[in-house]
């Protein structure tokens, strides 16, 4: 779990309207979001039931397409 140190900006009535985070907290949130996105993509790929290929074969196919251009 990420431990955050937010600072809030309020309007004249004391309502929170913005938040300021230390850069390290912001970067930690971005890392967590990227990991969650990877998990979502993995879950979607598993649900699709499409055949998979070994990673080395995938890289060879990609490289062949690059050379063909």
Q: What is the dihedral of CA 34, 40, 42, 47, to 10 degrees?
A: -170
Which whole number is the average pLDDT over 42-67?
Answer: 90
> pLDDT tens, 1-21?
788 899 999 999 999 999 999
What is the pTM (predicted TM-score) of this model?
Answer: 0.62
What confidence tier does 69 reach under pLDDT thresholds 50, 70, 90? confident
Distance between CA atoms of residues 69 and 33, nearest Å: 34
Find out whether 19 and 6 touch, Cβ atoms under 8 Å: yes
Cα of first residue to Cα of last residue in the chain, in angstroms, is 46
What confidence tier does 48 reach under pLDDT thresholds 50, 70, 90? confident
**Percentage helix, strand, coil for the chain under 3-state DSSP, each rounded to 5:** 60, 15, 30
What confidence tier does 38 reach under pLDDT thresholds 50, 70, 90? very high
């Amino acid at each position: 779990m990420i431990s955050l140190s937010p600072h809030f900006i309020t309007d004249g009535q004391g309502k929170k309207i913005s938040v300021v985070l230390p850069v390290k907290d912001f970067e930690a949130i971005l890392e967590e979001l990227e990991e969650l996105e990877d998990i979502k993509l993995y879950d979607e790929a598993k649900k699709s039931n499409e055949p998979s290929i070994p990673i080395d074969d995938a890289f060879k196919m990609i490289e062949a397409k690059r050379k063909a251009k």
